[in-house]
């Protein structure tokens, strides 16, 4: 905090910002009792507010009334205290806190609120069960590490706004209640009392509204947007989340990327987050998937993937030959010289299966390079083993891991194994961070289960290529990845109505359905839409990366639990039958 609070009857100074420069002056502070120590005649209180800690001392001779009151104080009591700022004796100086040279000799004490014993310790670093923390979130947020994380989040948003304001962007709000549109996840629906049987939807993103703002001629828009998706929660996903939403008119991919590098570069620099300075390197989707198995690779360590199809093209080992015959792949990685026990290899096999693989082949390279210690070695010819060893640059003692499966499944399984190996063998320098753009995504993926094409990004992203061969179409999309986590993504949008209708048609959305669901966008496109594009940056993920939280729940003031429920309020919860009747609803 840079500015002293406005003086009133509770405080005229922050606890954590009083220094020796104020020695001999009067001050009044307010906050929570962090700790109480009774040293015979003297009573010491560590008082805590958002700025930090200040030691209060109560002398029975000079302030008997305040001293008597201090006897009753307990942790988390709320007080206001006034007195003289005094230097501590040199032997009592605490170098670990900014206020360690001074203390407040209290003359007046007012107890503002008594506190019961908290259900868990609030000291920094104390380990507490997350369910208990979420149930008593107001107490959890008193802990210094939680206050630090929310302060980091505040500064991130402030920096984002500052950079975009300097670049002549307008902060514009978009609706929270809108029409349900397919954007990849289930919508949260809100029944409309004024029109029984109809529903609003909470926005998965402001996608269509920000495009309309570009058509409206606003040209440069942003907002800190709340988004809602009815999907399973995990460490980096919540039912409701926040993003920096940006859209720009008359731009190409390079313009959007340069703008976001300016925004995020300023954020990282101010928060001391060690990434290379912009411009950041770019990697195509095809290269990322080929080298790392997924489109959000952690590039802080090696263990890159290798295609073994050519080396095993003539193999008679059915696990490999069947995968290749069915259009799949055989891919592997060299984990290095690690002699893992069978139990650890079984754990890696189970991890591969959890990510969809049918199994995992492991092999230890023996001296001479032509032999393996592996359950499958007897099924492979000597020249096949030699070819695989050469492809993965194996040396004696190296552990090889191989997956034979459909290309996406193989990549995801090996990517998970790669991350697990990095964790087990401590391959990541957590003080250094890596950042890159992933570009040139496919425009569409074939949904074999439902026998249709799905948009890889969303149906408003501009595709390029030949529509006669949808599998070859690429998209003008881009993602920003930090340490293996996607923190943002966007694209150049479709600004031509005919092209938008053609994309809908490819996705199986007929003209009548398109008009019913997206008519407001299609109609707007008739009246002169500029080329435009934008990006959404995941504020929760960015804050977690910078503040060091293990999940985004650590940087959200009031998050949902992993189950999606809210232990604090008990939501979701049944509602009064009368409310349902008003809405024209009946539970099945």
Q: What is the pLDDT of residues 272-323, one digit of tens each?
A: 999 999 999 999 999 999 999 999 999 999 999 999 999 999 999 999 999 9
Question: What CATH number does the domain containing 84 carry?
Answer: 2.40.50.140
Confidence label for 5 from pLDDT (cuts 50, 70 and 90)? confident
Strand partners, 92: none
Non-local CB neighbours of 437 within 8 Å, separated by 6+ positions? 257, 280, 281, 282, 283, 478, 479, 480, 481
Model confidence at 18: pLDDT above 90: yes
The answer to whether residues 474 and 420 belong to one domain is no
Dump pLDDT digits (tens) for 453-500. Answer: 999 999 999 999 999 999 999 999 999 999 999 999 999 999 999 999
Q: For residue 126, tell me if it sits in a domain.
A: no
The answer to whether residues 360 and 476 belong to one domain is no
Confidence label for 126 from pLDDT (cuts 50, 70 and 90)? confident
Model confidence at 94: pLDDT above 80: yes
Dump pLDDT digits (tens) for 381-409. Answer: 999 999 999 999 999 999 999 999 999 99
| Mean pLDDT, the chain, whole residue set | 94
Q: For residue 10, tell me if it sits in a domain.
A: no
The answer to whether residues 384 and 261 belong to one domain is no
Q: Residue 200's pLDDT is what?
A: 95
Question: What CATH number does the domain containing 306 carry?
Answer: 3.30.1360.30
Contact 403, 351 (CB under 8 A): no
Model confidence at 195: pLDDT above 60: yes
The answer to whether residues 280 and 309 belong to one domain is no
Mean pLDDT of 83-104: 94
Could you please report the per-residue DSSP string of 497-555? HHHHHHHHHHTT--HHHHHHHHHHHHHHHTT-PPPEEEEEEEHHHHHHHHHT-SSGGGG
The answer to whether residues 79 and 191 belong to one domain is no
The answer to whether residues 409 and 449 belong to one domain is no
Q: Please confirm whether the linkage preceding 279 is cis (ω < 30° from 0).
A: yes
Q: Which residue has the higher pLDDT, 447 or 474?
A: 474
Confidence label for 160 from pLDDT (cuts 50, 70 and 90)? very high
Q: For residue 172, tell me if it sits in a domain.
A: yes
Q: For residue 166, tell me if it sits in a domain.
A: yes
Domain count, the chain: 3
Domain boundary among 424, 451, 474: 424
Domain boundary among 374, 405, 424: 424
* Burial class of residue 123, CB neighbours in 10 A (0-12, 13-18, 19+): exposed
Model confidence at 189: pLDDT above 90: yes
The answer to whether residues 251 and 213 belong to one domain is yes
Q: Which residue has the higher pLDDT, 156 or 181?
A: 156
The answer to whether residues 169 and 206 belong to one domain is yes
Mean pLDDT of 511-518: 92
Confidence label for 450 from pLDDT (cuts 50, 70 and 90)? confident
Q: For residue 585, tell me if it sits in a domain.
A: no
Q: For residue 83, tell me if it sits in a domain.
A: yes
Q: Which residue has the higher pLDDT, 171 or 339?
A: 171
Confidence label for 559 from pLDDT (cuts 50, 70 and 90)? very high
Q: Residue 477's pLDDT is what?
A: 98
Q: Residue 231's pLDDT is what?
A: 85
Model confidence at 124: pLDDT above 80: no
The answer to whether residues 409 and 473 belong to one domain is no
The answer to whether residues 419 and 450 belong to one domain is no
Question: What CATH number does the domain containing 463 carry?
Answer: 3.30.930.10
In the chain, % of residues over pLDDT 90: 89
The answer to whether residues 451 and 540 belong to one domain is yes
Structural domain containing residue 108: 15-113
CA atoms within 13 A on the CB side of 70: 30
Confidence label for 514 from pLDDT (cuts 50, 70 and 90)? very high
Dump pLDDT digits (tens) for 25-52. Answer: 999 999 999 999 998 789 999 999 999 9
Contact 339, 363 (CB under 8 A): no
Q: For residue 457, tell me if it sits in a domain.
A: yes
Model confidence at 2: pLDDT above 90: no
Alpha carbon separation from 323 to 247, 276, 315 (Å, rounded): 44, 40, 11
The answer to whether residues 159 and 239 belong to one domain is yes
Helix (H, G, I), strand (E, B) or coil at 217: coil
Q: Please confirm whether the linkage preceding 298 is cis (ω < 30° from 0).
A: no
Q: For residue 253, tell me if it sits in a domain.
A: yes
Q: What dihedral do alpha carbons 456, 458, 464, 467 form, nearest 10°?
A: 80
Domain boundary among 376, 394, 424: 424
Q: Which two tokens stand for residue 195?
A: 């029109």
CA distance 219 to 207: 15
Model confidence at 1: pLDDT above 60: no
């Amino acid at each position: 905090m840079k500015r002293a609070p406005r003086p009133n009857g509770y405080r005229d100074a922050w606890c954590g910002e009083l220094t020796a420069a104020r020695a001999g002056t009067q001050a009044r502070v307010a906050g929570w009792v962090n700790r109480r120590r009774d040293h015979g005649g003297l009573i010491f209180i560590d008082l805590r507010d958002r700025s930090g800690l200040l030691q209060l001392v109560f002398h029975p001779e000079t302030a008997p009334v305040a001293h008597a009151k201090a006897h009753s104080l307990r942790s988390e009591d709320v007080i206001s205290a006034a007195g003289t700022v005094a230097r501590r004796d040199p032997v009592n100086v605490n170098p670990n806190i900014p206020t360690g040279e001074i203390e407040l000799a209290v003359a007046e004490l007012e107890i503002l609120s008594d506190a019961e014993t908290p259900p868990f310790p609030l000291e920094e670093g104390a380990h507490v069960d997350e369910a208990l923390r979420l149930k008593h979130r107001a107490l959890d947020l008193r802990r210094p590490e939680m206050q630090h994380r929310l302060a980091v989040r505040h500064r991130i948003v402030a920096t984002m706004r500052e950079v975009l304001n300097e670049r002549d962007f307008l902060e514009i709000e978009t609706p929270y209640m809108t029409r349900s549109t397919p954007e990849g996840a289930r919508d949260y629906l809100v029944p409309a009392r004024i029109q029984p049987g109809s529903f609003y939807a909470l926005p998965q993103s402001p996608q269509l509204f920000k495009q309309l703002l570009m058509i409206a001629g606003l040209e440069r828009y942003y907002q800190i947007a709340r988004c809602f998706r009815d999907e399973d929660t995990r460490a980096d996903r919540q039912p409701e989340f926040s993003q920096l939403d940006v859209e720009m008119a008359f731009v190409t991919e390079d313009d959007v990327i340069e703008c976001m590098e300016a925004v995020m570069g300023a954020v990282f620099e101010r928060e001391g987050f060690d990434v290379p300075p912009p411009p950041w390197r770019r990697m195509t989707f095809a290269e990322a998937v080929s080298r790392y198995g997924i489109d959000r690779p952690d590039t802080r360590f090696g263990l890159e993937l290798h295609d073994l199809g050519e080396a095993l093209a003539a193999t008679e080992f059915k696990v490999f030959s069947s995968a290749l015959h069915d259009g799949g792949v055989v891919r592997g990685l060299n984990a290095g010289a690690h002699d893992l026990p069978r139990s650890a290899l079984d754990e890696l096999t189970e991890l591969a299966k959890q990510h969809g693989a049918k199994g995992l082949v492991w092999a230890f390279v023996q001296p001479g390079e032509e032999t393996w210690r592996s359950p499958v070695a007897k099924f492979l010819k000597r020249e096949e083993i030699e070819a695989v060893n050469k492809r993965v640059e194996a040396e004696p003692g190296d552990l090889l891991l191989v997956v034979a499966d459909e290309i996406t499944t193989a990549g995801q399984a090996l990517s998970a194994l790669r991350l697990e190996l990095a964790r087990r063998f401590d391959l990541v320098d957590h003080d250094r961070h890596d950042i890159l753009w992933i570009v040139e995504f496919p425009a569409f993926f074939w949904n074999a289960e439902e026998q249709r094409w799905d948009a890889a990004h969303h149906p408003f992203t501009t595709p390029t290529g030949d529509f006669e061969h949808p599998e070859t179409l690429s998209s003008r999309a881009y993602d920003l990845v930090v340490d293996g986590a996607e923190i943002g993504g966007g694209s150049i949008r479709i600004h031509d109505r005919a092209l938008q209708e053609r994309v809908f048609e490819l996705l199986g959305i007929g003209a009548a359905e398109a008009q019913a669901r997206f008519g407001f966008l299609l109609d707007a496109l008739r009246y002169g839409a500029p080329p435009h594009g934008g990006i959404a940056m995941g504020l929760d993920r960015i804050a977690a990366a910078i503040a060091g939280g293990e999940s985004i729940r650590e940087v959200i003031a009031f998050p949902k639990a992993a189950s999606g429920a809210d232990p604090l309020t008990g939501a979701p919860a049944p509602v009064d039958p009368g409310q349902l009747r008003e809405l024209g609803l009946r539970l099945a």
